[in-house]
C-alpha cells in the first residue's frame, strides 16, 4: 500500500510540474508571437505612412482610399530637386533643377505594393484608412489615419488601443508604438 501511495504522489507531482511549466511557457510563447505579429504590422504601417507622405508632397492632400494610395505608390511620379554648387560660395554657380522620378523605384522597390493593404497573418482583413483636413491655428492641415482593425494582442483588444499610424483628430504622422 505504501508503494502505491508513493507512485500516486509521484504521478501527481509530475502532472503538477508539467502544468506549472506549461502555464509559464505558454505566456512566454504568446509574448513572442505578439512581438513577431506586431513587428510585421508596424512594418506595413510604416510603409503606408511613407506612401501617404509622398502622396501628400505631390498632391497636397492625403489619399483617402487604398486604391488611390496604392496606385500612386505603384505608378506615381514625384518631384526631386537637384542642387549643384554651393549657394554660400560666391565662386561657384548655384543651380537647382527639378526631375520627376518613379515613386516605386525610389521608395518602394522591394515592396509588394498590392499586398500592403492587408493586415499581416490575415488573408483578407484590410487596414482601415481615413483622410481628412483639420483646422490648426487657423490653418487647414491634411491628416490621415491607418489602423489595424483586429489587434492580435489581448491587452490592445481590452484597452481598445490597436496599432495605428497618424490621426484624424490632430496633426500627428507617427505611430502609437512610438510613444
The full set of domain ranges for the chain reads: 2-75+110-178
Phi first, then psi: give them for residue 71, nearest 5 degrees: -65, -40
- The pLDDT, as a whole number, for residue 11 is 92
What's the rounded Cα separation, in Å, for the pair 142 and 9?
69
pLDDT on residue 178: 66
pLDDT (0 to 100) of residue 143: 94
CB 55 within 8 A of CB 66: no
* pTM, 2 dp: 0.81
Give the pLDDT of residue 1. 82
Q: What is the Cα–Cα distance from 19 to 16, expressed in whole angstroms?
A: 5
Q: How far apart are CA 45 and CA 119, in angstroms?
A: 9
* Nearest C-alpha neighbor of 167 from the set 149, 143, 135: 143
Q: How far apart are CA 83 and CA 100, in angstroms?
A: 14
Which regions of the chain are under pLDDT 50?
Answer: none
Q: What is the pLDDT of residue 83?
A: 81
Residue for grid cell 498590392: 114
Amino acid at each position: 500500500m505504501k508503494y502505491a501511495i508513493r507512485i500516486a504522489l509521484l504521478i501527481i507531482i509530475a502532472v503538477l510540474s508539467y502544468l506549472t511549466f506549461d502555464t509559464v511557457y505558454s505566456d512566454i510563447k504568446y509574448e513572442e508571437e505578439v512581438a513577431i505579429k506586431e513587428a510585421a504590422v508596424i512594418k506595413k504601417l510604416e510603409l503606408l505612412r511613407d506612401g501617404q507622405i509622398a502622396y501628400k508632397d505631390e498632391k497636397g492632400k492625403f489619399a483617402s482610399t487604398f486604391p488611390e494610395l496604392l496606385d500612386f505608390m505603384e505608378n506615381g511620379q514625384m518631384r526631386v530637386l537637384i542642387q549643384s554648387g554651393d549657394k554660400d560660395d560666391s565662386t561657384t554657380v548655384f543651380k537647382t533643377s527639378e526631375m520627376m522620378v518613379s515613386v516605386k523605384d525610389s521608395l518602394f522597390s522591394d515592396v509588394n505594393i498590392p499586398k500592403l493593404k492587408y493586415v499581416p497573418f490575415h488573408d483578407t482583413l484590410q487596414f482601415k484608412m481615413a483622410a481628412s483636413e483639420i483646422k490648426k491655428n487657423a490653418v487647414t492641415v491634411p491628416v490621415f489615419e491607418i489602423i489595424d482593425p483586429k489587434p492580435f494582442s489581448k491587452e490592445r483588444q481590452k484597452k481598445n488601443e490597436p496599432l495605428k499610424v497618424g490621426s484624424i483628430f490632430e496633426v500627428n504622422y507617427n505611430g502609437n508604438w512610438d510613444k
